[in-house]
Amino acid sequence: MMTKIAPSILSADFSRLAEEAQAAERAGADWLHVDVMDGRFVPNITMGFVVVEALKRVCGIPLDVHLMVVEPERYVERFVAAGASVVTIHAEATPHVQRALQLIRAAGAKAGLSLNPATPLDWFADVMGELDLALLMSVNPGFAGQKFIHRSFDRLRRLREMRDRLNPRTLIEVDGGVSVANAGELVEAGADVLVAGSAIFNDRASVARNLGEIRSALAH
Ligand code: DX5
Ligand code: ZN
């Protein structure tokens, strides 16, 4: 399967949101990653339903919505209604992980679960059978542009083994500090989907060139 690249719109210029999303789409992005933060689960506040709706109107690729909010089960259906194709919740953010995953699927989207860097990987195991996406955080969620936590490679290899054993259909996504320097190694270690924010939007070069460089790093 071809590795998917999901640019994180959090690093885009928000005064030109439509253009930035369309540039990512034209450059061959597979999904557009949308980081929703509530100022409680993480120390930052970003965007919500109206931004997802607006992106849906201007962008044809699937919206991959990453909810960094407490009690995500209260909001997942509205994000699907707003246009999310994938909705990912954090296991640390709710006592009702399985219920939230069911709500996402019943609403017609793919269901993802994410774990912070220090959360035991076992937390994926019992729900792997009903997971479309397992999102491994390789930074502490809250901000773009942080340094990749190197230990994530080991977690990724273990997650890959767990996924292959329990549900080969689950996609593994890595989020945080992904760049042209580590993209190839991440795919070798087991990533199916790479999220990249600052590496795609923050650089002086164009979105197309940044994304193209990551894509070609995967070819070697
Ligand atoms: C972090 C977010 C990430 C982030 C990625 O809390 O979930 O998606 O925007 O940004 P980079 O690629 O710059 O680490
Ligand atoms: Zn994210």
Reply yes or no on whether the pLDDT at 203 is more than 80. no
Give pLDDT, residue 220.
67
- pLDDT at residue 219 in the model: 84
Mean pLDDT (the chain) is 97
Gyration radius (Cα) of the chain, Å:
16
Mean pLDDT over 189-196 rounds to 98
Q: Say if ligand 1 is within 6 A of residue 8 CB.
A: yes
What percent of the chain lies above the pLDDT cut of 70? 99
pLDDT tens column, 82-100? 999 999 999 999 999 999 9
Is the CB of 10 within 6 Å of ligand 1?
yes
Q: Is 4 near ligand 1, meaning CB less than 6 Å away?
A: no
In this structure, the residue with its CA closest to atom 1 of ligand 1 is 141
**Is 35 considered catalytic here?**
yes
Query: pLDDT tens, 142-153?
Result: 999 999 999 999
Residues in the chain: 220
Q: pLDDT tens-digit profile of 111-127?
A: 999 999 999 999 999 99
pTM recorded for the entire structure: 0.98
Say whether pLDDT at 217 is over 70: yes
Are the CB atoms for 84 and 59 separated by under 8 Å? no
Interior angle at CA 77, CA 93 and CA 22, nearest 5: 95
138 pLDDT tier (thresholds 50, 70, 90): very high
Catalytic: which of 35, 38, 64, 192? 35
Mean predicted confidence (pLDDT) in 37-53: 98
| Catalytic, out of 38, 64, 175, 192 | 175
Span 17-41, mean pLDDT?
98
CA–CA dist 191, 169 (Å, integer): 13
**Tokens, residue 6:** 């999901």
